[in-house]
A and B are shown apart, each in its own frame.
Chain A
């Protein structure tokens, strides 16, 4: 992976620079603020990542939502946490901070027929906390304003001025369901700054853990869709499968969610050959049970009827909202970070795509099955022989901020900011790290859920209120990842 390029811009040139990047085939990855300014991350057409940094002494910056629509929540978060006013972003609704006045964060209800349905933050099942406000006529949804961040713990700010080895636990605490994806993106970001490159052995362990996480999450999400239509038998089988994989995760890493299994620059996981063989056999059994259960779901027409044509995101909308992960691929966007990856073992990887992705609940459901089978294949290929503890090798010497060398142009340098990009179960997970020596200046986690929540709210429009749980489950986004 090439290093992240830091480009210092003035607030007048920032927008133009970003526009040129995007016109050249670049992709918006995320935006965050810090005490001195804002930073916008873009992936160039060649796969290199640039950090466009812009100082905001007067707490003012130009908005980029017209250039990158999915920067909407990023700018609202930057406003709430760091008080940045985004010129052109109107209205700049609160996101993290909860204002009690409805008008500040919802669209005003107009007309005689529509009424509001308010749900949450506490829900009827075992679900994370979040509040939804639907505008409804009869059962038809006209509009949805989600309010998350009930679980905002301020993990990013709390991680500041900690040593980078200590700060990984703050990133890990964000979300247990994505613990490997999140901490791995953090580790890659740190290694990007420190100039470290994972050895083959380390990459193997990390790829294995990441795919195990994908397997249990996808199994969980398929079960969740069964629960979403009230199919108890499907939910029960997939609950069983999730449990079996979680036991495997414990066998490999010592923790059922593989927490604390990723470290910066190394891995201490050791598994002997016979246990590896056991795990391989067990996963084979799990896969067999999964396949036969899946076939039954495919031929259950009552069940399938509920999924088709519900919660559609067109390819056009998916592009606009930059939908990532299985949800994006179910709308025909083939992007998968594993194809661009050079720090893990995904050589020549190409994600399976549906023949006719239509962007509905069924497509997202079917896409998961395709990816699950690929994940089983990858894991089974990696499970050969002992797993030994491993380290990184130095790609280039670690630098202090004073030793940075400039590349390309006078105002760009590498070595202060690092970005890790990982394909988690729900899609692209990004972690940006800024170090001052070995101390965290700023860490920012932008998970796939953060990106996709915006699209989820959009795709409920025109659907029936009783289908919302199903649409929600077809994304199965985390709240914890978003709220941090």
Chain B
């Protein structure tokens, strides 16, 4: 454990991440609406020492009940529509919806017409669009912190 922590300390020093002046908080609930797993892999790097998204007051919470923002990825498969709507319905007001990645934005989606909806806009009101296939951790943080400023 000592070596691990020591390695982490060195990484923290070398990465030299900027601290924001003002910190507010935003609890994020992620929901996979039929992605290729790319957005998820980038999302899970947000908490790594390279990005440390918690320094901006961002965090991922386990339940939509605790969430301010619903982040939805993927081309919105028909099989996931009900679950996404229910997760949104479980969130307390005020709530925001983020469409993450090209698929959720309806950009260049591939698949069968009767299996996918093709974009998040068709089932939920979208407040923020984050482009990219997949968006890089940096793009995701930029999008989410912009949402923080709006709140």
Per the 8 Å Cβ criterion, residues 1-36 of B in contact with A are 1-5, 7-8, 11, 30-36
A52 adjacent to chain B (CB < 8 Å): no
Q: How far is the CA of A236 from the CA of B51 in the complex (A)?
A: 11
Whether B45 lies near A176 (C-beta < 8 A) is no
| Given A129-B34, A158-B111, A300-B1: A243 and B48 interface contact (C-beta under 8 Å) | yes
**Of A53-61, A64-72, A146-154, A458-466, the one with at least 4 CB within 8 A of chain B:** A146-154
Q: How big is chain A's contact interface, by range? A: 35 or more
| Given A176-B134, A220-B41, A242-B45: A152 and B79 interface contact (C-beta under 8 Å) | yes
Whether A257 lies near B134 (C-beta < 8 A) is yes
Per the 8 Å Cβ criterion, residues 126-140 of B in contact with A are 133-134, 136-137
Which residues of chain A are within 8 angstroms of B36 by Cβ–Cβ distance? 173-176, 480
Q: How far is the CA of A242 from the CA of B50 in the complex (A)?
A: 10
Q: How far is the CA of A404 from the CA of B144 in the complex (A)?
A: 57
Whether B49 lies near A239 (C-beta < 8 A) is yes
- CB of B21 to closest CB in A, whole Å: 25
Q: How far is the CA of A169 from the CA of B60 in the complex (A)?
A: 31
| Given A98-B79, A151-B74, A153-B34: A239 and B44 interface contact (C-beta under 8 Å) | yes
- Residue from the list B5, B41, B64 in contact with A176, Cβ < 8 A: B41
Interface size on B, residues (CB 8 A): 49
Whether B49 lies near A236 (C-beta < 8 A) is yes
- CB of A242 to closest CB in B, whole Å: 7
Q: How far is the CA of A109 from the CA of B114 in the complex (A)?
A: 33
| Given A150-B79, A152-B77, A153-B112: A128 and B4 interface contact (C-beta under 8 Å) | no
Which residues of chain A are within 8 angstroms of B77 by Cβ–Cβ distance? 150-153
B125 adjacent to chain A (CB < 8 Å): no
Q: How far is the CA of A170 from the CA of B7 in the complex (A)?
A: 41
B37 adjacent to chain A (CB < 8 Å): yes
Whether A152 lies near B115 (C-beta < 8 A) is yes
| Given A98-B79, A151-B74, A153-B116: A237 and B32 interface contact (C-beta under 8 Å) | no
B83 adjacent to chain A (CB < 8 Å): yes
Which residues of chain A are within 8 angstroms of B63 by Cβ–Cβ distance? 124
Pairs across A and B, CB under 8 Å, 5 listed: A126-B40, A126-B60, A151-B79, A176-B38, A220-B41
